[in-house]
């Protein structure tokens, strides 16, 4: 299995965090389920191989070949079904709103056929699937298609500034103070986030802090839970474990075991696999 990330071109950098590719075969994963954890980002996922199954309440549902994946607020469980050849477009928290008319808050937790969400994204993905002869070629082609599909919609500077502050401080921000800093009210900022990000500023801050905790836990010389909690800005270890269980679906210790198993399958690392 090989996972790679690619920087977006300058024209797309304000909207995209990265493009990524994943290539391999299920024989390396023995049909096991793979967790996808909340990271505060939405994605466009294009399968050139066999789509994944989404596992929910013990039921498997085959995913479309081209997916728009909304914000996650809890763990998503996927299972590969065959040959894996995937291109992903990871948007900045507000980036997909420029291509999707539906308020992002209505797409939370969903993995939908892209054609049901955004005609520009669906057309771009269809062109790339039909014309690209390799994943590297697909990365370049997708960027060309997205530039051509860019609508004349400006990013709300209040949302962009608030997201930047949340990222800069690893989620350790007060929402009232954040609202003042971007010159709006808390209620109005929450409305803007529901439309353009999908989750509230408080929820995005919580997910960002959780992602910081993942980084601390998976770093070299992993510290004990209480130190990881402190390093990630949690009030105490109990708060850390409670948040972790809700967002990851397991304890920090159990997550580390899963992460250790996945390390043998991937040449790159990611807390988020293919949707």
Tell whether 32 and 131 lie within a shared domain: yes
Nearest C-alpha neighbor of 128 from the set 104, 117, 144:
144
What pLDDT, on the 0 to 100 scale, is given for residue 241?
81
In eight-state DSSP terms, residue 266 is -
| Residue 186 maps to a domain | yes
pLDDT at 14 over 90: yes
Which CATH number covers residue 45?
A: 2.60.120
In a shared domain, residues 196 and 138: no
CATH classification at residue 181:
1.10.10.60
Q: How confident is the model at residue 267 (pLDDT cuts 50, 70, 90)?
A: very low
111 domain-assigned: yes
Give yes or no for residue 44 having a pLDDT over 80: yes
Query: Is residue 275 a part of any domain in this protein?
Result: no
The H-assigned helical ranges of 150-200 are: 157-168, 175-181, 186-196
- Which tokens is 119 given? 């005609």
Q: How confident is the model over 184-195, as pLDDT tens digits?
A: 999 999 999 999
| Residues 133 and 8 grouped into a single domain | yes
Is the pLDDT at 28 greater than 70, yes or no? no
Are residues 65 and 47 in contact, defined by beta-carbon separation less than 8 angstroms?
yes
111 shares a domain with 207: no
Identify the weakest region by mean pLDDT among 116-125, 165-174, 180-189, 252-261: 252-261
Determine the pLDDT at residue 227. 66
Average pLDDT for residues 130-156, to the nearest whole number?
93
Q: Give the tokens for residue 265.
A: 């399958």
In a domain, 269, yes or no: no
Tell me the three-class secondary structure of 210-254, residue by residue.
Answer: HHHHHHHHHCCCCCCHHHHHHHCCCCCHHHHHHHHHHHHCCCHHH
Model pLDDT for residues 148-176, shown as the tens digit of each residue: 999 877 789 999 999 999 999 999 999 99
User: Which long-range contacts (C-beta less than 8 Å, at least 24 apart) are formed by 98-102?
Assistant: 98/15, 98/150, 98/151, 98/153, 98/155, 99/149, 99/151, 100/68
Q: What is the pTM of this model?
A: 0.88
The reply to whether 270 falls in a domain is no
37 shares its domain with 97: yes
Q: Is residue 7 part of a domain?
A: yes
User: Which pLDDT band, with edges at 50, 70 and 90, does 269 fall under?
Assistant: very low
180 and 75 belong to one structural domain: no
22 with 106, same domain?
yes
Question: Is there a domain that residue 272 lies in?
Answer: no
**How confident is the model over 110-120, as a mean pLDDT?**
97
Overall average pLDDT of the 31-53 stretch: 92
Would you say residue 38 lies in a domain?
Answer: yes
Classify residue 231 as left (phi > 0), alpha (psi -120 to 50) or beta. alpha
Query: Are residues 47 and 127 located together in one domain of the fold?
Result: yes
- Here the tokens at position 264 are 């043998």
**Structural domain that includes position 60:** 2-149
Number of domains in the chain: 2
In a shared domain, residues 83 and 104: yes
């Amino acid at each position: 299995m090989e996972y790679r990330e690619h920087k977006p071109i300058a024209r797309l950098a304000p909207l995209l965090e990265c493009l990524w590719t994943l290539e391999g075969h299920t024989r390396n994963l023995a049909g096991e389920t793979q967790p996808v954890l909340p990271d505060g980002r939405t994605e466009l996922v294009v399968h050139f191989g066999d789509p994944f199954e989404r596992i929910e309440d013990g039921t498997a549902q085959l995913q479309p070949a081209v997916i728009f994946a909304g914000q996650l607020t809890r763990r998503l469980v996927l299972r590969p079904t065959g040959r894996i050849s995937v291109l992903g477009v990871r948007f900045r928290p507000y980036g997909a709103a420029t291509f999707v008319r539906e308020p992002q808050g209505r797409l939370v937790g969903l993995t939908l056929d892209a054609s049901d969400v955004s005609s520009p994204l669906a057309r771009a993905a269809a062109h790339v699937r039909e014309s690209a002869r390799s994943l590297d070629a697909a990365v370049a082609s997708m960027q060309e298609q997205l530039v051509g599909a860019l609508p004349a919609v400006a990013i709300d500077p209040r949302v962009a500034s608030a997201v930047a502050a949340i990222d800069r401080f690893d989620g350790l921000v007060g929402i009232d103070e954040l609202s003042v800093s971007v010159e709006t009210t808390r209620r109005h900022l929450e409305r803007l986030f529901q439309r353009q990000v999908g989750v509230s500023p408080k929820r995005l801050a919580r997910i960002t802090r959780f992602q910081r905790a993942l980084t601390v836990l998976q770093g070299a010389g992993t510290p004990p839970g209480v130190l990881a909690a402190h390093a990630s800005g949690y009030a105490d270890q109990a708060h850390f474990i409670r948040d972790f269980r809700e967002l990851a679906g397991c304890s920090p210790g159990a997550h580390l075991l899963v992460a250790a198993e996945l390390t043998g399958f991937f040449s790159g690392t990611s807390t988020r696999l293919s949707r």
